[in-house]
Amino acid sequence: MGGLQQYLYRYANHAAWLEDNRRTDNGTLAHIVVLNAMGARVSRQWKGYWQRAA
């Protein structure tokens, strides 16, 4: 599986999260995202993703 197909599940998951939290104010959403990001371990799948184009 290559190209955009490998990210389809993640994209769908993100869309579902947005739909589930559509009535939550932006400040609370930002707080949730930051807390989750700071509390998560380094992802083996996303580690180095931003370096791919270099």
- Taking only the tens place, the pLDDT of each residue in 5-50 is 778 888 899 999 999 999 999 999 999 999 998 999 888 777 777 7
Per the rule left: phi > 0, alpha: psi between -120 and 50, beta: everything else, 31 is: alpha
Domain ranges of the chain: 7-38
Q: Model-level pTM?
A: 0.58
Residue 2 has pLDDT above 70, yes or no: no
Q: In whole angstroms, give the CA distance from residue 48 to residue 43.
A: 9
